[in-house]
Structure 1
Amino acid sequence: MTLVVGGNPIEDVGTRHLANLLRNLRHEAVIALHSALNLITSNKFKKARKVFEHALNLDPSNSEILVEYGQFLEYHHNDLINAEHYYTRALVKQPTNLRALELKKRTLPLVEEIDQKYFYFIDNILKEFYRIPDTNPYLRRAKRNAYYLHIYHSNGIEGNTLNLRETQYIIETHLAIGGKSLIEQQEVLGLDLALQYVNCTLVNRLGLITLEDILEIHRRVLGFVNPIEAGQLRKQQVYVGSFIPPIYNDLPEYLDDFLKWLNSLDDTRDLHAIELATIAHYKFVYIHPFIDGNGRTGRLLMNLILMKFGYPPVIIKKSERFIYYSHLKQANDGDIRPLIRFIAKCTERTLTELIQQSQTTKITRQDLRLNDDYDNGRNFIEERVIIIE
């Protein structure tokens, strides 16, 4: 039954109001675009950038604004990577946009060259990492620290509130901490078990990555929290914000296609290890095969692939979760390269920190440097030092 007020159905009034609001926002965005272009002609580039960003906030789907902002970044900030990203976004919204097609065709090879140079730079850091003997006590300590950090940050991304000391204590003792969420403590135990399984069973095993491998990882991730759903494909529809993953009836087909791609040399031979691991991570979380634990399982799968190529497990810090989520959304919108570059930066950071922490210091006592995560408005975190007597 439709409620009628003043002779007009409420639904119709609400729909017309929303349509008028969106129309006004789009009109205001066009006005802002013209204002930004006028500011450019007056050499007021700083103000122009702010007005461009305002225009995109008003109408993120306007391909003309996306193209003009891309050109502004390319010519006035020498930012080819972000310029090409905006050209790509314009084409996602309007595939027939001739200007965007021409600009992307011109900039894409240059951006790909920049990306490949960065991968080469990371590969050289990896070579430096492998020059450190496995017997180096500082390196062994750094790897142990990284193990705790991986569990702490991966759980923290999903909302776990345990701090690093508490996470380490639970891993080492398997004892509960009074006054803390039992579920959050079980999440630590589950991720610890799953990471051990990846490290001790899957990394050095020859052969393909199988569905059973993924199910076994998830069975450990969720086993303490929800043993009924652990290792089981979901049997209901789930929603991730505004994103709607595939319906559960289609999961076997999606996973089969995913694993065929992942294990196919023809499809993956030209990809760098970081590209392959990132794309695999994205494809997996897009499918979202489980009722819970998809992010943690997906990051373990990503690190399994990286470790098979000789990289150490990469840590995404919980303070970076919103950046991480925004890159996943950009991948949903048609451009996965921001996510690949983000994982590449995390890889570089992980390698650099391991190398730095493996260096001999003049400190007489052994300090265990654990990078706990306090988001104080900066991208990175403050350090907490636990002194081991």
Structure 2
Amino acid sequence: MTAEKWKIHSDTRMFRPPFLALIILSGVTVAYLMSYQLPFLLYFLSAKRQLRALSVGDTSLVLRVRQKNIPANLDLQKEALTAMNLALDMDLQGKHNKALKLFQHALNLDPMHADILTYYGEFLEKHEKDITKAEHFYRKALFVCPNHSRALVNRERVLPIVEEIDQTMYNQIDKKLNLLYKVPQNHPGLRRMKKEAYFLHIYHTNAIEGNTLTLSQTRAIVETRIAVGGKSLVEQNEVLGLDAALSYINSTLLGKVGSLTLEDILEIHRRVLGYVDLIEAGRIRTTQVFVGDFTPPASKEVPQLMDDFIDWLNSREALQLHPIEYAALAHYKLVIIHPFYDGNGRTSRLLMNLILMQAGFPPVTIKVEDRHIYYNVLQQANEGDIHPFIRFIAECTESTLDEFLLASLDNAASVIPQLSVNKTRSERITHIENTEKDNEI
């Protein structure tokens, strides 16, 4: 064997042990990753399959959502459970304030743990007498763990009470709507309020999206079509777009109950963005978009999702819902599909108001001051419970009715003493419940 051959042979033998060690190390690494990451991968794939299985036709919820159901960090989960157990101990000792803080700490650490959600719901039910909020946490626990026995029992127990509370809310709103029907259409206060509501919707729905124009500037642009100095043309064109969309709804779509089409929604959107982005206006998006930590469906899925949405929108099942529930669900479903590159929120709120106006309600305003509540209840819907969002829309509807009645009835306070834009929904409901009890006596 020549020296050169020996050198190559020697080098090969010399490098063989490290090479074998590398193979062994790689195998150990793969085994480690498989043992620790395989459960996560299986969970992720399962969650993805569940997302695909969800249909826009489901009237309860549409979840194309924040991928928040990824298992929590194990250390955080242990700390969260420790905090929960301490909270339960504090509760048994009568230290309710400490228990409340510990429960809240546990939820901050692991907001999607079924046990924590369930026990916190029981705590709220017991000490704060908040059945509606407790039911929300039971529902959220079942979204995470559908077979959680304790949450199932609790929710089944409180659900009839919550449904009765919600029905009382709808009855209260319907009574106010009937009062508004009795006001003559030529009443000066009613006519003034209708005009004001038009400007309020344009101002607030734009402001929610970050538009900085004031209400008076918004009104001036709509009425005069003259640009406001010191403000961007884009913001002013957004006002013109919403004005055009509202005019289209009022003149064309109010009579189309149960027969709305995809083209109708595209026409609304075409006007919303018509003064801002002619290319995207009235077009279904063809690219992926991202909204904070929420990832809407892929663009290739949107056409089918929109077809399913239109089918649901005109279905008997949807049309038999209370108009507020129907409008809120339509808003939520459309904004979750996110069919457009831009203008999804404004178009969804317009669709919501179209449905409400078809049912005889005035256009409802979601105020920019309530933006954080609005986004929070949308997030709660994404996490498994659409009902806080529906109740929020109901509260906005009732507040709008109150404003109309106060402007239209000279003796509004004496006719309906609970009527006040400063009262919360729970205060209004408490008043009507007490009134009904007095009437029974």
Is this a same-fold pair by TM over 0.5?
yes
Find the counterpart in structure 2 of residue 45 from structure 1. Answer: 96
Find the counterpart in structure 1 of residue 400 from structure 2. Answer: 350
TM-score (norm 2): 0.76
Match of 2:374 among 300, 312, 324: 324
Alignment-mate amino acid for residue 297 of structure 1: T
Distance of 1:286 and 1:327 partners within structure 2:
13
Q: List aligned pairs for 1:62-141, cutoff 5 A.
A: 62-141=113-192
Shift of 1:46: 2.6
- Worse-matched range after superposition: 216-225 or 245-254: 245-254
Going from structure 1 to structure 2, the CA distance change for 1:286 and 1:104 (only over 3 Å counts) comes to: same
Find the counterpart in structure 2 of residue 164 from structure 1. Answer: 215
Match of 1:306 among 334, 337, 356: 356
Distance of 2:74 and 2:319 partners within structure 1:
47
1:287 aligns to 2:337 (yes or no): yes
Find the counterpart in structure 1 of residue 388 from structure 2. Answer: 338
Which residues of structure 2 form unaligned runs of 5+?
Answer: 1-24, 38-69, 412-420, 422-441
Shift of 1:360: 4.6
Alignment-mate amino acid for residue 343 of structure 1: I
Distance of 1:348 and 1:207 partners within structure 2:
24
Distance of 1:358 and 1:140 partners within structure 2:
9
Find the counterpart in structure 2 of residue 259 from structure 1. Answer: 310
User: Would you tell me which structure has more helix in proportion to its own residues?
Assistant: 2
Does the aligned pair in 1 maintain the 2:331–2:348 contact within 8 Å? yes
Does the aligned pair in 1 maintain the 2:258–2:315 contact within 8 Å? no
Does the aligned pair in 1 maintain the 2:267–2:282 contact within 8 Å? yes
Alignment-mate amino acid for residue 234 of structure 1: R
Distance of 1:239 and 1:258 partners within structure 2:
21
Does the aligned pair in 2 maintain the 1:191–1:221 contact within 8 Å? yes
Distance of 2:78 and 2:171 partners within structure 1:
46
Alignment-mate amino acid for residue 290 of structure 1: F
Give the secondary structure class of the aligned counterpart of 2:73.
helix
Does the aligned pair in 1 maintain the 2:313–2:330 contact within 8 Å? yes
The structure with more radius of gyration:
2
1:296 aligns to 2:346 (yes or no): yes
Distance of 1:235 and 1:87 partners within structure 2:
38
Alignment-mate amino acid for residue 283 of structure 2: Q
Find the counterpart in structure 2 of residue 22 from structure 1. Answer: 73
Give the secondary structure class of the aligned counterpart of 2:276.
coil
Distance of 2:76 and 2:134 partners within structure 1:
24
Match of 1:183 among 225, 231, 234: 234
Alignment-mate amino acid for residue 39 of structure 1: M
Q: Percent identity?
A: 55
Distance of 1:102 and 1:207 partners within structure 2:
38
Does the aligned pair in 2 maintain the 1:84–1:104 contact within 8 Å? yes
Alignment-mate amino acid for residue 138 of structure 1: G
Does the aligned pair in 2 maintain the 1:217–1:231 contact within 8 Å? yes
1:315 aligns to 2:315 (yes or no): no
1:274 aligns to 2:324 (yes or no): yes
How many corresponding residue pairs? Answer: 347
TM-score (norm 1): 0.85
Shift of 1:23: 2.7
1:245 aligns to 2:296 (yes or no): yes
> Which structure exhibits the higher relative contact order, with contacts defined as CA atoms closer than 8 Å and separated by 6 or more residues?
2
Shift of 1:47: 2.7
Shift of 1:261: 0.8
Does the aligned pair in 2 maintain the 1:138–1:360 contact within 8 Å? no
Alignment-mate amino acid for residue 141 of structure 1: R
CA deviation profile, 1:325-377 (whole Å, cap 9, x unmatched) = 1111111122100000000000000000111122459xxxxxxxxx9xxxxxx
Give the secondary structure class of the aligned counterpart of 2:143.
helix
Distance of 1:46 and 1:116 partners within structure 2:
32
Find the counterpart in structure 2 of residue 60 from structure 1. Answer: 111
Distance of 2:165 and 2:410 partners within structure 1:
34
Match of 1:197 among 218, 240, 248: 248
Distance of 1:237 and 1:131 partners within structure 2:
49
- Worse-matched range after superposition: 196-205 or 58-67: 196-205
Which residues of structure 1 form unaligned runs of 5+?
Answer: 1-6, 362-370, 372-389
Structure 1: which 4+ aligned runs deviate by more than 4 Å?
Answer: none
